[in-house]
Structure 1
Amino acid sequence: MTIEKIDTLVVGAGQSGIAMSEHLKDCGVPHIVLERNRVAEQWRTGRWDSLVANGPAWHDRFPNLEFDDVSPDTFPPKDRMARYFEDYANMIDAPIRTGVEVKRVQRNEGRPGFLVTTSEGLIEAQRVVAATGPFQVPQYPNIVPADAGIEQLHSSAYKNPGQLPEGAVLVVGGGASGSQIAEELQRAGRKVYLSIGEHYRPPRSYRARDYVWWLGVLGKWDEIKTIAKKKHVAFAVSGYDGGKTVDFRLLAERGVTVLGMTSGYRDGILNINNDLADNIAEGDRAYLEVLREADAYVERNGIDLPAEPEAWEIAPNPDCIANPILELDLARAGITTIIWATGFKFDFSWLDVDAFHEDGTPFHKRGISSERGIYFLGLPELTNRASSFIYGCWYDAKYIATHIVVQRNYAAYERE
């Protein structure tokens, strides 16, 4: 059997795989990129119809290509984002092979490198970069049984309001996906319940600057602090409807019934934690902290940005927050659908190597794994807060490419 040989194999042709390919090419590293679907498939089919980028076009891109038909401060729709990455891959002439699934990666015995089993045959690679991103397998809490008579789907399977059966909808999850889907359904005339837990709720913009700009100048992309921020907390910021601050009080005023965290189910009754007020207050704390830091930055640096006193105004709690529902009778509420906007979990079952903690999460430092020759790219907090975002993964890829070059030099060394 013929086995193809390559120095570096990149798995995945989304933003991370394309960024990796650019830097490998610039460093002169022979490589190929395998993608089981199409380039940027998650942007094409992995989300709802009205999805837009979560950052403005001037920021949510790679450094070497701007959007040619989208104004810098707009939030590009998902189809435009998919085309952006396709255009970028063509621009750098990335060696991408689509429709090829990687089924197994295992270390060679008695010689360096890895044997990669794919749907199109075997490949031997000296290095493998897992660039499959953070959105791999939808994550559902095991709360409402499948036979409860309720339509249940993950947010990645939601497309638009017309897809759902008639009736009220419960959206579980207070991050960007849950808040946007809840608002879209409410605007479509649905009765909506939104269950939220702990969340980080920054302003979408403040003093004429988008939050991604404040993240940069305030050092929040890097998050170098003596007290680390909480991990696995929903990030409630939205590019929906032109970009705006997520405001659960405003959603409630518009008719969305906001609930605390969903915690249990029995005989048609959903149990809700009595944590809504605390969750809202914690979101407010994060929001106001950004405003304070932004004001201090403006004053300290003498920057002429317009004041925005109205941003400091916090509306009173509407009734569903002041008097939270702790038990929700799904039938009485008319709920026929539950959308779980509860994130994703990793699936590296195809990587048969010693590069993981006992819980299955990658064991790495800045993407360099404990298994020499295996790399990870595009994961949350890989290097910092920006790592799973478009611009962040590009810089992480540059670091990994540099490490690969160093390792190639070691391998090529011969004593004279």
Structure 2
Amino acid sequence: MNENHIEHYPVVIIGGGQAGLSASYHLRQQGIAHLVLEKNRAMHAWESQRWDNFCLVTPNWQCDLPGHPYSGDDPDGFMKKDEILAYLAGFRAKVDPPIREGVTVRRVGPRTDGGFLVATSAGDVSADQVVVASGGYHEPIIPRLAERLPASIAQIHSAEYRNADQLPAGEVLVVGSGQSGAQIAEDLHLAGRKVHLAVGNAPRCARFYRGRDVVTWLADMGYYDMPVEQHPLREGVRDNTNHYVTGRDGGRDIDLRKFALEGMQLYGLLRDYEEGRLLFAPDLRSSLDEADRTYNGINAAIDKHIAEAGIEAPPPSVYTPVWEPASERESLDLASSAITSIVWCIGYRPDFRWLDAPVFNGAGHPQHRRGITAREGIYFLGLPWLHTWGSGRFGSVGRDAAFIVDHIAARLTRAGQDSAA
């Protein structure tokens, strides 16, 4: 197709989630014409990839999308799934984005004039600049060992999990103890299912400490505003697993040791399947201990903040284990167990194969500085730690979007000045 005879936009946004619509909001504020392309429906992941009892793990007051702050009557509570969907529907209505849903982007590549050609399932468009706001959670990860498991074992990814009743009768193995794994294990446990949990290296934190939500303390301490360049791990922090905690029933800690006391079976990292046996690493004790060290370390940082600021608060405390593994169970005969289903909670991998631009590192992850890449006109938005810890949350994605849109506007102004000269 002749590149001069297709629809053209100054900016095309790929992805219609909260990141893409935040960018659309700020582009509208600056009067910049644009198009949003979404392969499913706007905000679809919150409805289609969350379980029935899902709720936020950060307080409602942190929900502050552009022009759409939380306005409910429970700022310190945690919105449930239907409330989150209603909040996001209200945001979309306010933004009123120029969006095309059900459109898959197949390729973004350079145009001969220096812009970009965006090939989609509904035809091609061109753009001067492209904002990639599709996130980094594209392909659910299920290990290849799953192919060798008996056909009688039902297997789903956390993105497909809705509730305990969708799984066949019997015991359930949950693999992974990050936010989704820990919360899904709890959901099944509370539903009365016998749960086996293969624990990973995810850290944990307290829900409440010394009279306040830990998130509120950390916000006051500036943790959510710390740029990635100032973090001790620098860009390496982007590979960290999120802390597990829950907002369920008003919010509480998730303590895997307590679950063990209540009958949940804990194992170390699942590493293989051989001759009918699941094999686990002998690292359960060390994983639990490390999670507790993080928990106590965060609380100690809060203690220091309280002392330095002279804040009156309830006395400090240190978590002490309520359960210890008697031994490391390194194998489980699957056939003789009562396990009938497995929920894989080991995350997602990014898939940016459709983006033909030299903006990726050796691991296939985007290289950028606050969302701006070395390729003029290509931006990323909505990734974890794009700029700060808050970048992947409702509270800070709008700030990141405003920064990128300011850069876009400046570039368009320069281009206009150059063409007029």
TM-score, structure 1 as length reference: 0.93
- Once the two structures are superposed, the pairs formed by residues 286-301 of structure 1 within 5 Å of their partners are 286-301=294-309
Contact 1:260 1:275 in 2 (8 A): yes
SS in 2 for 1:357: coil
Distance 2:182 2:242 in 1: 10
| Counterpart residue number, 1:155 | 158
**8 Å contact from structure 1 (residues 59, 212) kept in 2:** no
Q: Deviations over 1:145-200 (max 9, x none)?
A: 34523221110011111111111111011111111111111122211001111122
Q: How far apart are residue 332 of structure 1 and its match? A: 2.1
AA aligned opposite 1:332: S
State the 1:287 CA deviation: 0.7
Equivalence for 2:244: 236
Are residues 1:130 and 2:164 paired? Answer: no
| Cα deviations by residue, 1:369-411 (Å, 9 ceiling, x for unpaired) | 2322111111122112222222222111111111111211221
2:369 is the counterpart of 1:361: no
Output the CA distance in 1 between the equivalents of 2:54 and 2:44: 14
| 2:394 equivalent among 372, 380, 390 | 390
| Aligned partner of residue 413 in structure 1, secondary structure | helix
The question of whether the paired residues in 1 share the 8 Å contact of 2:258 and 2:322 is answered with no
Question: 1:413 aligns to what?
Answer: 417
**Separation of aligned partners in 2, 1:306 and 1:95:** 50
Deviations 1:332-378 (A, max 9, x none): 22111111100111111221222222332212221112322111111
- Aligned pairs for 1:203-222 within 5 A: 203-221=206-224, 222=226
Equivalent positions of 1:54-133 (< 5 A) are 54-62=57-65, 64-109=67-112, 111-133=113-135
8 Å Cα contact 2:173/2:198 also seen in 1:
yes
Q: In the alignment, residue 183 of structure 1 is paired with which amino acid?
A: E
How many residue pairs match? The answer is 411
Q: Does 1:336 find its partner at 2:336?
A: no
Shift of the 211–263 alpha-carbon distance from structure 1 to 2, 3 Å rule, reads: same
Q: Does 1:263 align with 2:271?
A: yes
Partners of 2:204 and 2:245 within 8 A in 1: yes
Q: For residues 70 and 34 of structure 1, what CA distance do their matches in structure 2 show? A: 34
Q: Matches of 1:291 and 1:69 in 2, distance apart?
A: 29
What amino acid is the match of 1:386?
A: G
Structure 1 residue 21: Cα displacement: 1.0
Of residues 369-378 and 338-347 in structure 1, the stretch that sits farther from structure 2 once superposed is 369-378
5+ residue gaps, structure 1? none
Tell me which residue corresponds to 2:23.
20
- The answer as to whether partners of 1:52 and 1:240 remain within 8 angstroms in 2 is yes
Counterpart check, 1:139 vs 2:145: no
Please tell me the residue identity of whatever aligns with 1:297.
Answer: H
What TM-score do you get using the length of structure 2 for normalisation?
0.92
User: Does the Cα contact within 8 Å between 1:60 and 1:391 map onto a contact in 2?
Assistant: yes
Over the aligned positions, Cα root-mean-square deviation in angstroms equals 1.9
Q: Per-residue displacement from partner, 1:289-328 (whole Å, max 9, x unpaired)? A: 111111111121122233354xx2413324xx23221111
State whether residues 357 and 375 of structure 2, in contact with CA within 8 Å, keep that contact through their aligned partners in structure 1.
yes
Looking at structure 2, the residues matched to 268 and 104 of structure 1 have their Cα atoms a distance apart, in angstroms, of: 43
Q: Distance in 1 between matches of 2:129 and 2:290?
A: 43
Pairs within 5 Å for 1:248-327: 248-307=256-315, 309=317, 312-318=318-324, 321-327=325-331
Q: Deviation of residue 69 (structure 1)?
A: 4.1
In structure 2, the gaps of 5 or more residues are none
Distance 2:148 2:277 in 1: 14
Q: Percent identity?
A: 37
The alpha carbon displacement at 1:70 in A equals 4.9
